[in-house]
Structure 1
Amino acid sequence: METKVLGRSDINAAIAERVSELYRQLSPTKKQQDLRHVLDEDNPVYVVGSFEDEKLTGIASMAVYKVVSGHKGWIEDVVVDATYRGKGIGRKLIERLLELARDMQLTEVLLFTEDHRIAARTLYESLGFKTKDSTIYIRRT
């Protein structure tokens, strides 16, 4: 298994379709963004992919931003193909994002997961993430 940071030059039709397939496993009802736009140089988002025998088996992304309270990363869209789960791929993806966070000297890395995703929550806690005493609000535009 290989994990690597994907750049725009890595995105071809097959990879884009595979990312869409993976994302549908995570959020089947949400509209997806075009991966080339997500990886635009003006958009500080890092997408890590996991490959086994050259097949994309999982993805995770981290948006990076600066605010008064620090230089932060926000992990989103973590998904491993259902047929590859339980092999440590999710852990490798998050570890790679955390390496990037250390390299960029981020002050904190946040992530969101839904309460019913027990396996994901267990993984994040094993990697040192703690629940934050906070409430997330959403307003769709």
Structure 2
Amino acid sequence: MDIQIKEITNYTPEIKNTIGHFLKLLQSNDRGISDHQLKEIISSENSYLFFAANTYDVYMGMLTVGIYQSPTGKKAWIEDVVVDETFRGQGIGENLIAFAIQFARQRQVDILTLTSSPARVAANNLYKKIGFQPKETNVYRMTLINDCHA
């Protein structure tokens, strides 16, 4: 299967609906994404949104790369990796991650990080296969949510 990774640089209702579909697969709540949120991601200098598409321009998967500079180096996070159920097991996730690694290298990122739920066994196996190593650390999270998403 021919897989193309496309950076999303323009807002369209189709892109918003596609992200909403992917988010339903990724998380249990069904908040979707607002026009404002999507436009902010697209216009950000530090956030990069990518879709995997086939030759018929069917979107099969998504991921986001966030890049930032800290005193300990230039870092990037891979976020929101998801592949549509129809296309799982066909190398879409691996292609997305490989693309993100190359993308980060081109931007001279020192450290590339991602997190994954232990319940996502296939995803965790993929990340280890590609060369990511579990980090001995505690990850802490505080949700600061604005309920005004429209």
List, as ranges, runs of 4+ consecutive aligned residues in structure 1 with deviation greater than 4 Å. none
Distance in 2 separating the partners of 1:103 and 1:31: 33
Structure 1, gaps ≥5 residues long: none
CA distance in 1, matches of 2:23, 2:119: 18
AA aligned opposite 2:109: L
Return the alpha-carbon distance in structure 2 between the equivalents of residues 107 and 70 of structure 1: 6
Matches within 5 A, 1:1-141: 1-7=3-9, 9=10, 11-29=11-29, 31-33=31-33, 34-42=37-45, 44-52=46-54, 53-141=56-144
How much has 1:16 moved relative to structure 2?
1.3
* TM-score, length-scaled by structure 1: 0.92
What is the Cα deviation at residue 41 of structure 1? 3.0
- Structure 2 length-normalised TM: 0.87
- Find the aligned partners of 2:28 and 2:42 in 1 and give their Cα distance: 21
AA paired with 1:113? S
SS in 2 for 1:39: helix
What is the deviation of 1:140? Answer: 2.0
Aligned equivalents of 1:69 and 1:32: distance in 2?
Answer: 34
Q: What's the offset of the Cα at 1:126?
A: 0.9
Query: Bigger shift: 80-89 or 21-30?
Result: 21-30
Residue segments in structure 2 that go unaligned for 5+ positions in a row: 145-150
**Contact kept? 1:48, 1:96, Cα under 8 Å:** no
Q: Percent identity?
A: 28
Aligned pair count reads 138
Shift of 1:31: 3.6
State how far apart, in whole Å, the 2-side matches of 1:3 and 1:66 are.
Answer: 25
Question: Deviation string for 1:70-107 (max 9, x for gaps)?
Answer: 10001110000001100000011111111111001100
Partners of 1:119 and 1:138 lie apart in 2 by 24
Distance 1:69 1:31, change over 3 A: farther
What letter corresponds to residue 65 of structure 1 in structure 2? Y
Aligned-residue offset at 1:139: 1.6
CA distance in structure 2 between the aligned counterparts of 1:112 and 1:41, rounded to whole angstroms? 22
